[in-house]
């Protein structure tokens, strides 16, 4: 095996030279050369051992260690080349070296790790190696790297060799670290956390059922300790073990485990420990449920559940009900483990609970019992359909329904609410309620929804109806909807307040129950019919009634969005109807016919916008294209043929000139709701014409509502418009219209509104023109007339818009646009502030505070040092909007950046205390919250101010507003406790 061109002697000499260089500590790289030589056949492992002879017999442990280090390094790369006999001799050699000096042991372990990976390792050698390690090495005292080597050897043997007899020894060397008590050292480069070690050790301890006889007594012992962390770790480890244990491993320890778990739940003051105990009990029950039982073995699950029932069941009957909840939780934890455990426990517990409900007469006691019953009913949901042959619940159908129905008629609202929850669960159990029972359920829900005085019960009943309706659409369509329609149309003699309250509830209930397409087909016509009826009335309350109907329609629209059929039905039924009613009202206004005027009120149009928007956002591109082909020609060409009842007294010209068309122009708000909610890939017919009309209307209309909605509609379309020449031309046209409008004339405010919305549309999509428009806005901060409005416009730019330009309506919104806007414009705001005259400085502060208020807090914290002095100056501004905005900006910074804020504590204390006397209630509240948040700064910084702050906070304790007094009490209390022990 000598190298080509050289004799064997020369090869051995070269090996000896390399070995000498390595062991003398001169050249570590020689180790890799030797390994390569063995790999390519120049030298054998035997030759290497012979060459190492002089240092392996050396009296200096360091020299011996270097020799074994070289041998181990070579073996780690060449173990697959070894013959069976070579492995045997090497194992014997390494085992003998385990008795050597402690400096040698790490290299010995590395060699054994290499040998543990050899496929030709003779039977029995794995046991021999482990025995030698356990006898000769104190693993716990080794360095972390060396302990890892031992565990690698064990892992290799476990995955490739026969079962070793050293289970207890292996358990001992790992369990000695349980429970983990570790605090990461400061500046730890490895980033190892205590939780990482806990999870890793748990994975080892729970890796094999063979550890059960040693681990379970350890867990029981730790459960009895006073250390909360040890209890938690033990419980979580027990839960993990149950995933791989069987009946055999648990049998001996079940009584002790149950005793410990029961004690902790009955006595613990920690919710966390209680939750982990219940999880462990659930896991134990599930483990026993999984065990395959032979015919002659004891049914451990049944005896285990019998113990639980024996110890918990009687507490459910105690008059003082002291241990009712702990017992119920334990029973439910076990019952939820499997269908078998559920049947076993409910067979014993449910009749008892029903009996107790009847026995107790107080509503509070009945509520507790019904809540426990509810817990068991909810567990039944896990198993789906109620099986007739096994279900205890089905055999108790009549008494269960009787108890739940009685709760629904109880005077106690809290008992009613639990009853409604139970009713919802019963209804979700397919096959449980009979047809007559279902009708009774619906009748109860109608009564509660419409006639129960307490709004909590009413709303809960509506939610329950909405939850159950998809399961029983025929029953709700055939029984509930007609009743609601009848109540809505009734003209019974009642007080105005009662009649209005009933109508409101009917509208809410119709919306709540519209959770299935077949029901929507019944409820939507009722809601639209009522809207038309209200439109024809002349009473002053029509505006409020119309808004209520629109709110109900909006809820239905949201509930339809995920169902393609329901979404299209709602859209093609509701949108044309709303447009027809609005067009009719606008034409009546134009021809001086009074009925229907309420429909044109801003509040009603504003309530119709989200209905149309929600009905449009989730349309498929094909259906959206079909709809847009009707709606846009309606506004541009007056094409009304697709509208229901389309016999109108005059033509529809919302973009026409003339005072008589003012009412028609207001309906651009509805056009905005529709076109700005379309998916981006839907082509809008005659879009360039539409954009020009919207632009003209936004700049020239005297009605602020119409001008604003036209500007928003223009901006919404521009935001989605594909980049290119057409977009550039329309934007240039907009700039050409805005600039003279901003400079002078009667429409400066309209021009500013258009500027704001177009700027927002372009900022969101990172359009290059956005910086130019933002600079125009910054320039307006120095304008005495438009400056305050321009400053408030920065809030509009940064905030989420409710009706256009948000992701929900498919707008082009780039991530981190706020951070980019901040980076580009805050320096300009700061510069402008310093150069501004005293009469407009507040505008720059207001604009800055709006930007900072909408910035993600982590970003704001990093910029805080450069901006804090300006924020403190803003607190001295007399503008209450600036004060409020700045206070709301500073409050989270006090909590998240206490070290930086501490540098300005004197100024902060003074400013906050001054503002607690502000004439504006909202400012007083915000200042008190900031004074409260100051207590999160380091105590040593705050103590000099303690007396002064406590005295100053005495005054707002007598404030005439309750909310101010409440904040003052909270803030002053924290300052009183400042510096006390334990804080």
C-beta separation of 300 from 258 below 8 A: no
Using 50, 70 and 90 to split pLDDT, how confident is the model at 405? Answer: very high
Mean local confidence (pLDDT), 902-907: 88
Identify the CA nearest to 898 among candidates 910, 890, 907: 890
Which range, 65-79, 387-401, 562-576, 634-648, is most confident? 562-576
Question: Helices in 42-141 by DSSP H: which ranges?
Answer: 45-51, 53-56, 61-78, 84-97, 105-116, 125-136
Cα–Cα distance measured from residue 12 to residue 47, given in angstroms and rounded to the nearest whole number: 8
Compute CA 545 distance to the chain's CA centroid, rounded to the nearest angstrom: 36
Using 50, 70 and 90 to split pLDDT, how confident is the model at 923? Answer: very high
Report long-range pairs for 794-802 (Cβ below 8 Å, ≥24 apart).
794/846, 794/847, 794/848, 794/850, 794/851, 795/850, 795/853, 795/854, 796/756, 796/757, 796/760, 797/756, 797/759, 797/760, 797/763, 797/821, 798/850, 798/851, 798/853, 798/854, 798/855, 799/854, 801/760, 802/610
Neighbours of 599 (CB within 10 A): 27
Cα dist. 656→369, 593, 632, 696 in Å? 69, 20, 15, 11
pLDDT, position 15: 86
Look at the block and give the residue holding tokens 């500073």.
Answer: 890
Which two structure tokens, joined as six digits, stand for 336? Answer: 């939820």
Question: pLDDT tens digits for 846-869?
Answer: 898 889 888 888 888 888 788 888
Look at the block and give the residue holding tokens 């449910």.
Answer: 350
Q: Does residue 503 carry a pLDDT above 50?
A: yes
Look at the block and give the residue holding tokens 């029973």.
Answer: 331
Find the range with the poorest average confidence among 194-198, 431-435, 799-803, 898-902. Answer: 194-198
Identify the CA nearest to 354 among candidates 389, 397, 386: 397
Question: pLDDT tens digits for 803-832?
Answer: 999 999 999 999 889 999 998 999 999 899
Which two structure tokens, joined as six digits, stand for 422? Answer: 């139970």
Non-local (6+) Cβ contacts of 384 within 8 A are: 430
Using 50, 70 and 90 to split pLDDT, how confident is the model at 389? Answer: very low
Q: Does residue 73 carry a pLDDT above 60?
A: yes
Cα–Cα distance measured from residue 577 to residue 599, given in angstroms and rounded to the nearest whole number: 13
Non-local (6+) Cβ contacts of 689 within 8 A are: 636
C-beta separation of 798 from 821 below 8 A: yes
Question: Cα dihedral sign for 821, 822, 823, 824?
Answer: positive
Cα–Cα distance measured from residue 571 to residue 573, given in angstroms and rounded to the nearest whole number: 5
Neighbours of 795 (CB within 10 A): 18
Cα–Cα distance measured from residue 80 to residue 634, given in angstroms and rounded to the nearest whole number: 83
Cα–Cα distance measured from residue 313 to residue 603, given in angstroms and rounded to the nearest whole number: 59
Neighbours of 100 (CB within 10 A): 17
Give percent above pLDDT 90 in the chain.
Answer: 47
Q: Does residue 497 carry a pLDDT above 70?
A: no
Phi-psi label, residue 563: left if phi above 0, alpha if psi -120 to 50, beta otherwise = beta
Non-local (6+) Cβ contacts of 256 within 8 A are: 220
Mean local confidence (pLDDT), 180-187: 68
Q: Does residue 168 carry a pLDDT above 70?
A: yes
Question: pLDDT tens digits for 106-121?
Answer: 999 999 999 999 988 8
State pTM to two decimals: 0.77
DSSP states along 470-495:
TTSHHHIIIIIHHHHHHHHH------
C-beta separation of 751 from 738 below 8 A: yes
Mean local confidence (pLDDT), 776-788: 92
Based on its alpha-carbon atoms, the radius of gyration of the chain, rounded to whole angstroms, reads: 39
Decide which of 757 and 18 is more confident: 757
Which two structure tokens, joined as six digits, stand for 284? Answer: 């134990």
Question: Cα dihedral sign for 356, 358, 359, 365?
Answer: positive
Using 50, 70 and 90 to split pLDDT, how confident is the model at 1? Answer: very low
Identify the CA nearest to 608 among candidates 677, 560, 687: 677
Cα–Cα distance measured from residue 154 to residue 167, given in angstroms and rounded to the nearest whole number: 11
Q: What is the chain's mean pLDDT, rounded?
A: 87
pLDDT, position 327: 93
Question: Cα dihedral sign for 779, 781, 784, 785?
Answer: positive
Using 50, 70 and 90 to split pLDDT, how confident is the model at 295? Answer: very low
Using 50, 70 and 90 to split pLDDT, how confident is the model at 55? Answer: confident
DSSP symbol at 935: G
Using 50, 70 and 90 to split pLDDT, how confident is the model at 43? Answer: confident
Cα–Cα distance measured from residue 456 to residue 234, given in angstroms and rounded to the nearest whole number: 42
Cα–Cα distance measured from residue 516 to residue 520, given in angstroms and rounded to the nearest whole number: 6
Decide which of 898 and 540 is more confident: 898
DSSP symbol at 223: H
Using 50, 70 and 90 to split pLDDT, how confident is the model at 7? Answer: very low
| CB environment 686-714: b (16+ within 10 A), e (fewer) | ebeebbbbbbbbbbbbebebbbbbbbbbb
Which two structure tokens, joined as six digits, stand for 581? Answer: 């009613």
pLDDT, position 869: 82
DSSP symbol at 122: P
pLDDT, position 696: 93
Q: Does residue 625 carry a pLDDT above 90?
A: yes
Non-local (6+) Cβ contacts of 627 within 8 A are: 571, 572, 575, 616, 619, 674
Cα dist. 78→83, 106, 200, 308, 531 in Å? 11, 19, 31, 59, 87
Compute CA 653 distance to the chain's CA centroid, rounded to the nearest angstrom: 48
Cα dist. 512→419, 449, 481, 533 in Å? 19, 10, 11, 21
Phi, psi of 219 (to 5 degrees): -65, -40
Which segments within 802-861 are labelled E, that is strand?
Answer: none
Which two structure tokens, joined as six digits, stand for 173? Answer: 């060397």
Which two structure tokens, joined as six digits, stand for 462? Answer: 């509506």
pLDDT, position 411: 92
pLDDT, position 9: 44
C-beta separation of 980 from 944 below 8 A: no
Identify the CA nearest to 802 among candidates 720, 709, 886: 709
Identify the CA nearest to 660 among candidates 599, 720, 593, 715: 593
Identify the CA nearest to 912 among candidates 892, 886, 938, 937: 886
pLDDT, position 188: 64
Q: Which helix (H) or strand (E) segment is 266 a member of?
A: helix 254-267
Q: Does residue 752 carry a pLDDT above 70?
A: yes
Using 50, 70 and 90 to split pLDDT, how confident is the model at 6? Answer: very low
Look at the block and give the residue holding tokens 């005077």.
Answer: 411
Q: Which helix (H) or strand (E) segment is 570 a member of?
A: helix 564-590
Mean local confidence (pLDDT), 182-209: 72
Neighbours of 878 (CB within 10 A): 7
Angle 750-754-757 from CA coordinates, rounded to 5°: 140
């Amino acid at each position: 095996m000598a190298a080509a061109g050289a004799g064997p002697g020369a090869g051995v000499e070269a090996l000896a030279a390399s070995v000498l260089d390595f062991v003398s500590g001169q050249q570590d790289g020689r180790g890799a050369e030797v390994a390569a030589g063995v790999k390519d056949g120049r030298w054998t492992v035997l030759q290497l051992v012979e060459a190492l002879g002089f240092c392996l017999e050396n009296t200096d442990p360091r020299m011996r260690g270097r020799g074994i280090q070289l041998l181990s390094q070579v073996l780690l790369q060449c173990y697959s080349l070894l013959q069976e006999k070579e492995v045997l001799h090497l194992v014997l050699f390494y085992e003998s070296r385990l008795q050597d000096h402690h400096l040698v042991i790490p290299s010995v372990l590395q060699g054994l790790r290499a040998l543990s990976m050899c496929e030709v390792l003779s039977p029995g050698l794995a046991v021999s190696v482990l025995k030698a390690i356990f006898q000769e090495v104190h693993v716990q005292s080794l360095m972390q790297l060396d302990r890892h080597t031992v565990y690698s050897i064990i892992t290799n043997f476990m995955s490739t060799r026969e079962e070793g007899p050293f289970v207890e020894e292996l358990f001992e060397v790992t369990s000695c670290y349980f429970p983990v008590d570790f605090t990461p050292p400061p500046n730890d480069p490895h980033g190892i956390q205590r939780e990482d070690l806990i999870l890793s050790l748990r994975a080892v301890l729970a890796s094999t059922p063979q550890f059960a006889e040693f681990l379970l007594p350890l867990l029981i012992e730790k459960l009895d300790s006073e250390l909360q962390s040890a209890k938690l770790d033990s419980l979580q480890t027990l839960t993990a073990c149950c995933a791989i244990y069987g009946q055999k491993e648990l049998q001996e320890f079940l009584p002790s485990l149950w005793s410990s778990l029961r004690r902790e739940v009955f006595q613990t003051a920690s919710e966390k420990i209680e939750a982990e105990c219940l999880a462990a009990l659930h896991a134990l029950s599930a483990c026993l449920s999984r065990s395959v039982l032979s015919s002659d073995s004891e049914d451990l699950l049944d005896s285990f559940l019998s113990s639980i029932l024996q110890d918990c069941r009687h507490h459910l009957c105690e008059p003082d009900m002291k241990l009712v909840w702990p017992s119920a939780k334990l029973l439910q934890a076990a019952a939820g483990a499997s269908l078998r455990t559920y049947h076993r426990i409910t067979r014993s517990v449910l009749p008892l609970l029903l009996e107790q409900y009847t026995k107790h007469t107080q509503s509070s006691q009945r509520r507790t019992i019904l809540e426990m019953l509810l817990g068991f009913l909810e567990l039944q949901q896990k198993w789906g359909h109620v099986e007739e042959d096994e279900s205890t619940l089905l055999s108790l159908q009549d008494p269960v329904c009787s108890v739940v129905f009685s709760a629904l008629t109880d005077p106690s609202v809290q008992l009613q609410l639990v009853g409604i929850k139970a009713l919802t669960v019963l209804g979700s159990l397919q096959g449980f309620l009979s047809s007559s029972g279902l009708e009774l359920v619906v009748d109860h829900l109608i009564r509660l929804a419409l006639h129960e005085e307490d709004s909590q019960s009413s709303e809960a009943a509506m939610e329950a109806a909405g939850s159950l309706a998809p399961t029983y659409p025929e029953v709700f369509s055939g029984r509930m909807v007609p009743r609601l329609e009848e109540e809505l149309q009734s003209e019974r003699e009642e007080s105005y307040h009662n009649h209005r309250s009933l109508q409101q509830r009917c509208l809410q209930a119709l919306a709540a129950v519209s959770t299935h397409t077949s029901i929507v087909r019944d409820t939507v016509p009722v809601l639209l019919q009522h809207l038309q009826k209200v439109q024809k009335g002349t009473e002053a309350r029509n505006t409020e009634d119309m808004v209520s109907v629109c709110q109900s329609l909006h809820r239905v629209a949201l509930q339809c969005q995920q169902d393609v059929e329901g979404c299209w039905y709602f859209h093609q039924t509701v949108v044309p109807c709303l447009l027809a009613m609005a067009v009719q009202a606008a034409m009546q206004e134009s021809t001086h016919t009074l009925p229907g005027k309420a429909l044109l009120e801003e509040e009603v149009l504003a309530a119709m916008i989200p209905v149309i928007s929600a009905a449009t956002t989730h349309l498929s591109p094909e259906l959206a294209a079909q709809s847009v082909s009707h709606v846009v020609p309606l506004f541009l060409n007056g094409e009304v043929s697709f509208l229901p009842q389309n016999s109108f007294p005059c033509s529809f010209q919302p973009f026409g000139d003339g005072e008589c068309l003012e009412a028609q122009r207001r309906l651009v708000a509805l056009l905005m709701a529709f076109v700005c909610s379309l998916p981006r890939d839907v082509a809008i017919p005659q879009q360039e014409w539409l954009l020009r009309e919207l632009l003209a209307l936004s700049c020239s209309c005297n009605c602020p509502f119409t001008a604003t909605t036209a500007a928003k509609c223009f901006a919404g379309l521009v935001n989605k418009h594909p980049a290119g020449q057409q977009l550039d031309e329309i934007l240039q046209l907009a700039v050409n219209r805005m600039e003279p409008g901003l400079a002078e004339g009667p429409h400066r405010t309209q021009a500013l509104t258009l500027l704001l919305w177009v700027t927002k549309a372009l900022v969101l999509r990172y359009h290059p023109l956005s910086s130019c428009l933002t600079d125009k806005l910054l320039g307006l901060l120095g304008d005495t007339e438009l400056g305050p409005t321009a400053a408030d416009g920065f809030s509009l730019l940064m905030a989420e818009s409710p009706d256009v330009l948000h992701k929900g309506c498919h707008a082009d919104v780039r991530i981190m646009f706020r951070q980019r806007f901040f980076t580009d414009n805050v320096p300009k705001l700061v510069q402008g502030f310093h150069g501004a005259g005293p009469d407009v400085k507040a505008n720059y502060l207001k604009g800055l505070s709006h930007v900072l208020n909408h910035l993600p807090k982590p970003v704001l914290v990093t910029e805080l040092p450069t901006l804090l002095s300006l924020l403190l100056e803003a607190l001295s501004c007399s503008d209450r909007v600036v004060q409020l905005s700045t206070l709301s900006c500073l409050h989270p910074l006090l909590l998240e950046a206490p070290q930086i804020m501490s540098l300005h504590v004197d100024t902060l204390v003074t400013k906050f205390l001054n503002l607690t006397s502000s004439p504006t209630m909202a400012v007083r509240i915000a200042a008190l919250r900031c004074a409260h948040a100051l207590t999160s700064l380091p105590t040593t910084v705050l103590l000099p101010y303690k007396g002064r702050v406590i005295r100053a906070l005495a005054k707002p304790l007598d404030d005439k507003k309750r909310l101010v007094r409440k904040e003052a009490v909270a803030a002053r209390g924290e300052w009183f406790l400042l510096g006390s022990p334990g804080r």
